[in-house]
Amino acid sequence: MLLYSILLLVGFLILFKSADQFVIGSVATAKNLDISPMVIGLTVVALGTSAPEIFVAIAASLRGEAELAIGNAIGSNIANVGMVLGITAMIVPLPFKPEVLRNDLPIMIVVTLCAGAALYDLQLTPLDGVLLLSGLVLFLLRIFLESKKSTTDKISSPPKIDELSGFPEMSMPKAALNLVLSLVFLLLSAELLVYSVVAIARLMGVSELIIGLTVIAVGTSLPELVVSVTGAIKGQTDLAVGNIIGSNIFNILTVLAVPCLLAPTQFDSDLLWRDYGVMLGMALIMAVFAYGILSRALITRWEGLLLFLIWCTYLTSLYYTNAGVTA
């Protein structure tokens, strides 16, 4: 157990460092291309911080551990809202710009509902994976068209590149080298992580799904937490909000698509009604807070605390449910 725990820790450390380098290289490339901060948050940073989930899902699926990959996707989205958004809002209240409320947040809700449609028959098939990836293509196309429009209008509204001043400047060749090396280490560390987690789960008598929903989900969501909290503290709440929304969209359209294509599988109804239900419920609560239905159009510190407590309650219920099963 001690050896596997050490391997798990090493895997997480390499995974985080690789993801960090991937984000740095990606943001440097985007800044050189004069892309707006919100677009970077919704695509480049979100994809970069979703890299741990994506590579863990690939490694788990190739090992035939599809439930671990599914739990990672759903658990990470739950953690993004409860842990990442909750903690960030407790530090700095998060306002939502009109364009986010009009476009990006509704897209996240629709994508979450699409995940429910894919899970409803209690199985994931290659067709589900193709449909999810098709949604990803449409989402990226929309972002591309929005970026082109933003570039056209930049004479009257100059891009706020200073909003990304926290990221180091980097030449294009160096950014490309960063991307290649970080991708290699992401894959290797994800394999090490999955190997150690599966071994620990079997020694403890815990299902791979529960491990994916908890340990892996929390661990792979830490990059989102770092990016969002750092951005919010620096006053860049747009980057924090865009990172969370974009990451949740990517988790469903990419991470959940991985087991569909690499390891089609059937699963227990608890994953749909309990875990997906919590993911959908937290997304809807986030929307209620963001649209100001109960108060102002921002997520306050108290609302952030409520999201965090809901997430903690969910984790506690998983613990006692698993304890009851193994007893």
pLDDT at position 285: 94
Low-confidence ranges of the chain (pLDDT < 70): 29-49, 147-167, 179, 294-295, 323-327
CA-CA distance, 311 to 308, in Å (whole number)? 5
* Residue-wise pLDDT tens digits, 127-184: 999 999 999 989 888 877 776 666 555 444 444 444 455 667 777 778 778 767 877 8
pLDDT at position 122: 94
pLDDT at position 93: 92
pLDDT at position 37: 61
* 297: nearest Cα among 234, 237, 229: 237
Q: For residue 294, count other CB atoms closer than 10 A to its CB.
A: 9
What structural domains does the chain harbor? 2-326 (1.20.1420.30)
* Residue-wise pLDDT tens digits, 223-233: 778 778 888 88
pLDDT at position 161: 41
pLDDT at position 160: 43
- Does the pTM surpass 0.75? The reply is yes
Look-up of token digits 């992580």: 193
Residues 72/60, Cβ–Cβ less than 8 Å:
yes
pLDDT at position 44: 66
* 193: nearest Cα among 53, 21, 45: 53
**Contacts by 130-139 with C-beta closer than 8 Å and gap 24+?**
130/260, 130/261, 132/252, 132/253, 132/254, 132/256, 132/257, 132/260, 133/253, 133/254, 133/257, 135/111, 135/253, 136/250, 136/253, 136/254, 136/257, 139/107, 139/111, 139/249, 139/253
Q: How far lies 298's CA from each of 99, 101, 281, 295, in Å? A: 14, 10, 18, 8
Look-up of token digits 């009604």: 273
Q: Dihedral of CA 187/191/197/198: which sign? A: positive
pLDDT at position 158: 42
Q: How far lies 127's CA from each of 3, 118, 264, in Å? A: 39, 9, 10
